[in-house]
Amino acid sequence: MAKTAETPQQQTHAGDGGGLHLHLRTLHPPVPVPYVSKEELTSTARAATARMPGSPPVKDLAFYGGLGALAVAGALEWPVALAVGGATWLVRSGRREKRKEKQAAGARP
């Protein structure tokens, strides 16, 4: 058995582009970054959270969370879960409005 002589082959490296040299131009426009102080941030956050309604009851969170879990698991199709959740929310909000009206009417002399 004779040993064959290996000829060195030119290998291209990944970094040299295989003989292609592209010259790219990039544009870096100046973007002003606003400075926000801690006081501005906290006052804005307080104003935003003051407009939000209170936290929902745990019963509602459990219901809607379970409905979402069933939809994710595939036990319910998502349009059905959305319809059930929407209808439930409409019915519950209507009942709350009626209760508020009755309480307001009962409080008047």
Q: Which bin fits 9, alpha (ψ -120 to 50), beta or left (φ > 0)? A: beta
Q: What is the pLDDT of residue 90?
A: 92
Compute the distance between CA of residue 44 and CA of residue 49 in angstroms, rounded to an integer: 9
The H-or-E segment that residue 101 falls in is helix 78-107
* 7, pLDDT greater than 80: no
Compute the distance between CA of residue 76 and CA of residue 67 in angstroms, rounded to an integer: 8
Token representation of residue 78: 């998502």
- Greater confidence (39 vs 10) lies with 39
- DSSP labels, 50-89: HHSPPPPPHHHHHHHHHHHHHHHHTSS-HHHHHHHHHHHH
- Greater confidence (1 vs 51) lies with 51
Q: What is the pLDDT of residue 18?
A: 66
pLDDT digits (tens, 9 = 90+) for 26-73: 888 888 888 889 999 999 889 888 888 777 788 888 999 999 999 999
Backbone Cα Rg of the chain:
33
pTM above 0.75, yes or no: no
pLDDT digits (tens, 9 = 90+) for 74-109: 999 999 999 999 999 999 888 878 888 877 777 655
Q: What is the pLDDT of residue 35?
A: 85
